[in-house]
């Protein structure tokens, strides 16, 4: 069985593949464009914390919410400032696209029809067990919540090892970087056709911010069933439990 099967119209029509846009990419100046274009071609996920980050940043930048006579407060990072302004315009274009997110409150989530109660149960348990308050962990929790359908995290990798990979290693996950040959096969058979369909192929090859893909495999979570499992037994869902049996596989796009 191929780890990352070639993209096809049939696969897209069936709801796959799933791409999770990590905050490192979402808050890149190109992040909004990449997210919206990917959401035209396949199920595309962002962490709910992205919206909180954008909202908090916008509040600081809106004159109506600052003291009378004061100028808006610019963000410390000019690149983030630009990305937030782009997202402010892009969010109105998200409707009608396959852009989804899970959230602690089910009413705040936006989900496709196929998402099962098990995915929500996993998300709730993992979110609480890891006490997620770091954007670098959000995509890991989101990917781990989906075990019946594989999800691939797409993140920015400007240099060295992506931050999300570093955080996974810190938690105790087994981290493996694919060799050059399988990386090239995945790029050619999967990402290249998907980027081509989304009109992102040239950008991905010429971008100053290289991309990386990440896959989370957590076998213990496959059997977390909201109707059968006792969620009070937390030993399987803490960094000492499921994380130790989970693995993270990554490579460059």
Nearest alpha-carbon partner for 99 in 3, 166, 35, 179: 35
pLDDT in tens, 151-188: 899 998 887 899 899 988 988 889 999 999 999 999 99
| pLDDT band with cut points at 50, 70 and 90 for residue 125 | confident
Higher-confidence position of 178 and 29? 178
Query: For 185-196, what is the mean pLDDT?
Result: 91
CB 49 within 8 A of CB 57: no
Q: Check pLDDT > 70 for residue 251.
A: yes
Query: For 119-141, what is the mean pLDDT?
Result: 75
Q: Check pLDDT > 80 for residue 63.
A: no
What is the reported pLDDT for 36?
92
What is the reported pLDDT for 85?
84
Instruction: Give dist(CA 154, CA 37) in Å, integer.
Output: 14
Q: Check pLDDT > 50 for residue 97.
A: yes
Task: State percent of the chain over pLDDT 70.
Answer: 75
> How far is the first Cα of the chain from the last one, in angstroms, to the nearest whole number?
21
**φ, ψ at 198 (rounded to 5°):** -85, 0
Query: For 222-239, what is the mean pLDDT?
Result: 51
What is the reported pLDDT for 9?
45
Higher-confidence position of 54 and 107? 54
Neighbours of 31 (CB within 10 A): 23
Q: Check pLDDT > 80 for residue 35.
A: yes
Give Cα separations from 252 to 70, 177, 184, 207, 247 (angstroms).
45, 9, 9, 13, 17
Q: In what order do the strands lie in the sheet with 211-217?
A: 99-100, 43-46, 18-21, 151-156, 211-217, 247-252, 174-177
Higher-confidence position of 101 and 154? 154
Highest mean pLDDT among 5-14, 49-58, 105-114, 209-218: 209-218
Higher-confidence position of 60 and 184? 184
What is the reported pLDDT for 158?
80
pTM above 0.85, yes or no: no
What is the reported pLDDT for 238?
53
pLDDT in tens, 73-92: 454 677 778 888 888 888 77
């Amino acid at each position: 069985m191929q780890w990352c099967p070639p993209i096809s119209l049939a696969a897209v029509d069936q709801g796959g593949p799933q791409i999770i846009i990590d905050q490192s990419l979402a808050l890149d100046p190109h992040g909004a464009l990449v997210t919206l274009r990917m959401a035209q071609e396949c199920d595309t996920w962002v962490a709910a914390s992205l919206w909180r980050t954008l909202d908090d940043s916008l509040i600081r930048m809106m004159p109506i919410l600052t003291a009378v006579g004061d100028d808006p407060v610019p963000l410390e990072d000019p690149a983030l400032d630009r990305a937030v302004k782009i997202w402010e315009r892009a969010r109105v274009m998200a409707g009608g696209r396959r852009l989804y997110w899970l959230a602690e409150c089910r009413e705040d989530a936006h989900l496709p029809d196929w998402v099962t109660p098990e995915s929500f149960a996993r998300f709730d348990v993992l979110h609480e067990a890891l006490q997620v308050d770091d954007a670098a962990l959000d995509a890991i929790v989101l990917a781990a919540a989906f075990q019946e359908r594989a999800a691939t995290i797409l993140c920015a990798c400007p240099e060295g090892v992506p931050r999300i990979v570093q955080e996974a290693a810190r938690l105790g996950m087994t981290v493996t970087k694919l060799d050059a040959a399988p990386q090239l096969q995945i790029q050619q058979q999967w990402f290249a056709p998907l980027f081509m369909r989304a009109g992102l192929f040239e950008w991905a090859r010429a971008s100053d911010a290289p991309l990386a893909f990440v896959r989370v495999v957590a076998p213990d979570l496959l059997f977390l069933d909201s109707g059968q499992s006792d969620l009070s037994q937390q030993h399987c869902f803490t960094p000492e439990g499921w994380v130790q049996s989970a693995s993270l596989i990554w490579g460059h796009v």
